A and B are shown apart, each in its own frame.
Chain A
Amino acid sequence: MAISKRNLLAVTAAVLALGIGSASAQTKLRIGTEGAYPPFNNLTSDGKLEGFDIDIAKALCDEMKVECEFITQDWDGIIPALIAGKFDAIIASMSITDERKQQVDFTNKYYNTPPAIAAPKDSDIKGVTKEDLAGKSIGVQGSTTHSNYAEATYTDSDVKLYPTADEYKLDIVNGRIDAVSDDVIVLTDWLNSPDGACCKLIGTITPVEAIHGPGAGIAIRKGETELAAKFNAAIDAIRANGKYKEINDKYFTFDAYGG
Chain B
Amino acid sequence: MSVDATGFGHSVEDAPPSVVRPWTRTRILGHVLVGVWIALGMGLAAFLILSWNPDLVSRYAPNYLSGLWVTIQLVVISVALGALLSAPVAWARTSKNPLIAAPAYAYVYFFRGTPLLAQTFLIYYGLGSFKPQLEAVGLWVFFREAWYCAILAFTLNTAAYQAEILRGAVASVPKGQWEGAASLGLHRWLTFRKIILPQAMIVALRPYGNEIILMIKGSAIVAIITVYDLMGETRRAFSRSFDFQTYIWAAIIYLVIVETLRIAVDRIEAIITRHLRR
Contacts and interface: CB of A to CB of B under 8 A. Distances in A.
Interface residues of A, number: 32
Nearest to A11: B47
Contacts of B128: 170-171, 174-176
A7 to B, nearest CB: 5
B240 interface: yes
B40 A14 contact: yes
Nearest to B225: A167
B226 A162 contact: yes
A8 B235 contact: no
A19 to B, nearest CB: 17
A175 B228 CA distance: 20
A148 to B, nearest CB: 8
Given A99-B242, A160-B226, A15 B131 contact: no
Given A76-B235, A161-B226, A171-B128, A14 B43 contact: yes
Interface in B222-278: 223-224, 226, 228, 232, 235-236, 238-245
A4 B224 CA distance: 32
B223 A174 contact: no
Nearest to B44: A11
A99 B232 CA distance: 19
Contacts of A162: 224, 226
B45 to A, nearest CB: 10
B244 A12 contact: yes
Given A11-B44, A173-B129, A143 B226 contact: no
Nearest to A139: B226
Given A14-B40, A170-B128, A8 B236 contact: no
Given A142-B235, A160-B226, A4 B50 contact: yes
A163 B47 contact: no
B97 interface: no
Contacts of A171: 125, 128, 226
A100 interface: yes
Interface in A221-247: none
A175 B134 CA distance: 12
Contacts of B243: 8
Contacts of B224: 162-163, 167
A49 interface: no
A3 B50 contact: yes
Contacts of B46: 7
B144 interface: yes
Nearest to B129: A174
Interface string A171-183: 1011110000000
A143 B246 CA distance: 14
A1 interface: yes
Nearest to A100: B242
Contacts of A176: 128, 144, 146
Contact of A1 (B53, B144, B238): B53
Interface string B33-62: 000000010011011001101000000000
A171 B225 CA distance: 9
B226 A175 contact: no
A56 B43 CA distance: 43
Contacts of B239: 76, 142-143
A161 B44 CA distance: 31
A7 B50 contact: yes
A99 B240 contact: yes
Nearest to A137: B226
Given A15-B40, A142-B236, A143-B239, A8 B47 contact: yes
A103 interface: yes
A79 interface: yes
B51 A161 contact: no
Contacts of A167: 125, 224
A80 B245 CA distance: 13
Nearest to A5: B51
Q: Which 10 A-B pairs have the closest CB atoms?
A: A143-B239, A174-B128, A4-B51, A160-B226, A103-B242, A11-B47, A170-B125, A7-B47, A163-B224, A175-B131
25 contacts: A1-B51, A4-B50, A7-B50, A7-B51, A8-B47, A11-B43, A11-B47, A15-B44, A76-B235, A76-B238, A79-B242, A99-B241, A102-B242, A103-B242, A139-B226, A142-B223, A142-B235, A142-B239, A143-B239, A161-B228, A163-B224, A170-B129, A175-B144, A176-B128, A176-B144
